[in-house]
Each structure stands twice: as C-alpha cells, then as structure tokens.
C-alpha cells in the first residue's frame, strides 16, 4: 500500500494558556496601546522587550509591528539614505529586499553557496559597493560569522542581521543577531514565536536604540521603555527623527511573553523533528542533504534539500507527486514566483545580474515547513514519501 501523510503543514500549536490568560487580562483592562499604562506600571510590551533582551544578551530591545518593519527601521537607524546601495542575499524572502526598497535604497545581491548561506567569496568582491550589509540567515542557515564579520569590519561595512528564521539559533555559542550592529526578528505565525505579526530589534548601541525607538513612534514617551538607553541618549535624536509608527501593542506582547520564556524547549522540539527528517532523507539517490557546520546551533523549523542539476520538469514532478501523497514541498527554481518562493530575479523593482553558480543552487532548492504539530513518526513518514518519490524519478532519469 502506498503511504500517505494526512496532517497539515500550516497548522500551528495553540497559544500557551498563560498567553491566553494574559491577553484576556489586557482586553479586560483595555489598555492595549503600549504607552497607555497605569501609574507605576510597566506595559506588557516593555516587559517583553526586557525579557527578550535578557534572553539574547543584548543591552536594548524594541518590539515592533513586524520583522520587515524592524529591518527597515534598522536601515534608517544606521543612516542608509535613498539611492544608496545595500548588500543582501540573493537567496532570501521578499521582505528583505522589500525593506531596502521601502526606504528608497537599492539592493545589491550577493550569491548563495550550496550550503544555502551567503557566498563569502562573492561578498568579498562586492564590499566596496555599499556601506551596509542586510544579512539574511535564510531558512535558518548561518554562514561563518567570524569570517563574515572580519571581512565587514575591515571594509567598514555595517552588518544588520535578519534573524526571522534563527530566533534561538547561534554561531559558535553567540546568539543569532548578536554579531552585527542590529539584529532583527519576526514573530509572524510561521516563525519561532507566534503573535500573528510582530518583530524585535536588538542592539548594544545606545544611539541606534534611541533612534529606532523614536522611529517606531514613541512620541516623547521613551522613558516608558525598560530595555532602552537612558533619556540622555534621546536629547538631540528626539528633535530630528521622524515618527514612522510601527509599535507592537500589549495584546501581542502578552501572547508572546510565555512563548519567549519557553523558546529553548520549543527549539529542541523543532530540532528533534528536523533531525528525524534529515536521517530519513540521507543517502537518497539524486538528493543532497544540507550538512550543518559544527559551529552552528540550529533551529530546525524548516528543512531544505537540493535536487542539483535536475531538469525543472523533474523537480516539478517530485513536488506534484509528494503533494498527491500529502507532503507539501516548495521549490525555489520556478521561473515565476509562487507563494513565498520568489528569488532575486523575481523582484523587478531591484536591479540584478545573473549569477550562474547561485542560479544553479537556486534551481535545485526544495523547501518544507516543519510544524511542531508533527510527531516524530510523522517526520519519519514524510521522509519516506520524499525518498520514495525522489528515488523513483532519479532512477528513471539515470536508467
């Protein structure tokens, strides 16, 4: 009998009961706006910022409306101006170049390796083109951050980290988001904590933190933040920084606080599922598993593999046959963007030149979500289905 998976690739776990209770308390008192506080009260949002900053070891944290807003705010805070170039990954999701374009800047795309990380050799040749790198840890894959930071520091290039897929991950024991000047995170439903939408910005630089807080729409209420620099840091910034409102509200913060407290446990659960899938996929003929560096502490909320040098029609057949058996795969090699699987040459608002080595990798990337609603048995079944369909088509191609 042909095996079939019947679970959902988009069903998330419920919000923790503590988060539900805290959200109900916020709704009952009605003070949803982060600055609408009673005397002597720290808002849910301010407490969330304090707790997340402590968890990643940052001096300052700002909770905002989305991960994309966090990135655009970070770019503004470090001084990127309209018309300036910003380096970024060729393999990423649309909100990353979107954040660059939203402030009138111009993305300069850097290639991807078959490890699915930014190509540091390609980056070395482009460091003289921009003053800022918006580095995307796409799908949770972290490059050699020691080498990258040495290169960028030597070239006086400021690094902003997009950690939408690496909340809870680390490189050589240092939390993702803590290498660059600013780290940005997402709290969107399919990320590592779930408030529907939302994001964080972290930094150790008091001026960048103060500027980001003013940009987010603090009016002159910045003293109601907890994980923020002293009020003196705002003395001149408060008069010259535009209000581009993108605050997080207390309802979302209340939902997130218990999730942040339990993040390490959830990350381990993701990794158990990821490695069950990886084990099941290893040594599949025609399929390349992405080996993870020893220095990388991963959060396996999604898994990728490569069908390198396969014809597009064959990859599409794998995706279709797996879908018929209940397994939802996404392919980054399609000529037209589908759902979130756009690529650097899809974003026609951003100029680009073909990159042959990167195009080969992109043409082979197959991607799959790993919800925590999957059991380990589910993961083993999914791996068997993928293995079966890839092997079937690979054998036909090599016969």
Tens digit of each residue's pLDDT (9 = 90 or more) over 266-312: 999 999 999 999 999 999 999 999 999 999 999 999 999 999 999 99
User: Could you tell me which of 279, 271, 297 has the C-alpha nearest to residue 370?
Assistant: 271
**Contact 48/63 with Cβ under 8 angstroms?**
yes
Does the model's pTM come out above 0.75?
A: yes
Give, to the nearest 10 degrees, the angle between helix 250-261 and helix 17-29.
160
State the pLDDT at residue 67: 98
Long-range contacts at 330-334 (CB < 8 A, ≥ 24 apart): 330/366, 330/367, 330/368, 331/365, 331/366, 331/367, 332/91, 332/362, 332/363, 332/365, 332/366, 332/367, 333/362, 333/363, 333/364, 333/365
Question: Which CATH number is 263-398 given?
Answer: 3.90.1150.10
Q: Where in the chain is the domain with CATH 3.90.1150.10?
A: 263-398
The whole-chain average pLDDT of the chain stands at 97
CA distance 375 to 179: 34
State the pLDDT at residue 338: 83
Instruction: For residue 153, name the pLDDT band (cuts at 50, 70, 90).
Output: very high
Tokens standing for 187?
């709290």
pLDDT tens digits, 341-363: 888 999 999 999 999 999 999 99
Q: Find all residues with CB under 8 Å of 179, minimum gap 6, and list them.
A: 145, 148, 149, 159, 161, 171
Using the structure block, give the residue that is written with the tokens 């599922």.
273
CA distance 353 to 57: 39
Q: Which CATH number fits domain 17-261: 3.40.50.1000, 3.40.640.10, 3.90.1300.10, 2.60.40.420?
A: 3.40.640.10
State the pLDDT at residue 300: 98
Using the structure block, give the residue that is written with the tokens 């999914």.
382
**Contact 281/289 with Cβ under 8 angstroms?**
yes
Q: Where in the chain is the domain with CATH 3.40.640.10?
A: 17-261
């Amino acid at each position: 009998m042909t095996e079939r998976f019947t679970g959902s690739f988009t069903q998330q776990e419920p919000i923790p009961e503590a988060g539900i209770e805290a959200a109900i308390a916020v709704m009952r008192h009605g003070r949803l706006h982060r600055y609408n506080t009673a005397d002597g009260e720290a808002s849910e949002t301010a407490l969330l910022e304090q707790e997340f900053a402590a968890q990643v070891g940052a001096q300052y944290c700002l909770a905002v409306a989305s991960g994309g807003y966090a990135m655009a705010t970070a770019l503004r805070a470090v001084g990127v101006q309209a018309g300036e170039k910003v380096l970024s990954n060729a393999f990423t999701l649309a909100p990353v170049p979107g954040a660059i374009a939203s402030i009138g800047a111009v993305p300069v795309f850097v290639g991807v390796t078959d490890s699915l990380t930014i190509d540091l050799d390609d980056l070395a040749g482009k460091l003289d083109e921009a003053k800022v790198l918006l580095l995307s840890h796409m799908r949770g894959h972290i490059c050699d951050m020691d080498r990258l930071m040495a290169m960028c520091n030597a070239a006086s290039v400021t690094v902003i980290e997009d950690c939408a897929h690496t909340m809870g991950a680390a490189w050589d024991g240092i939390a993702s988001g803590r290498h660059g000047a600013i780290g940005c995170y997402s709290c969107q439903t399919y990320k590592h904590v779930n408030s529907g939408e939302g994001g964080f910005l972290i930094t150790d630089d008091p001026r960048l933190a103060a500027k980001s807080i003013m940009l987010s729409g603090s009016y002159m209420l910045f003293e109601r933040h907890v994980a923020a620099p002293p009020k003196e840091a705002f003395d001149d910034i408060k008069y010259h920084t535009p209000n581009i409102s993108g605050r997080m509200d207390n309802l979302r913060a209340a939902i997130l606080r218990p999730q942040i407290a339990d993040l390490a446990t959830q990350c381990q659960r993701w990794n158990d599922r990821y490695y069950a899938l990886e084990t099941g996929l290893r040594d599949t003929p025609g399929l390349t598993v992405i080996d993870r560096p020893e220095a990388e502490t991963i959060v396996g909320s999604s898994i990728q593999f490569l069908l390198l040098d396969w014809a597009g029609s064959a990859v599409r057949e794998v995706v279709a046959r797996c879908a018929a058996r209940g397994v939802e795969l996404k392919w980054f090699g399609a000529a037209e963007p589908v759902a979130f699987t756009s690529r650097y040459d899809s974003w026609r608002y951003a100029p680009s030149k073909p990159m042959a080595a990167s195009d080969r990798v992109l043409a082979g990337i197959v991607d799959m979500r790993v919800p925590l609603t999957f059991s380990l048995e589910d993961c083993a079944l999914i791996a068997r289905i993928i293995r079966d369909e890839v092997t079937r088509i690979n054998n036909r191609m090599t016969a």
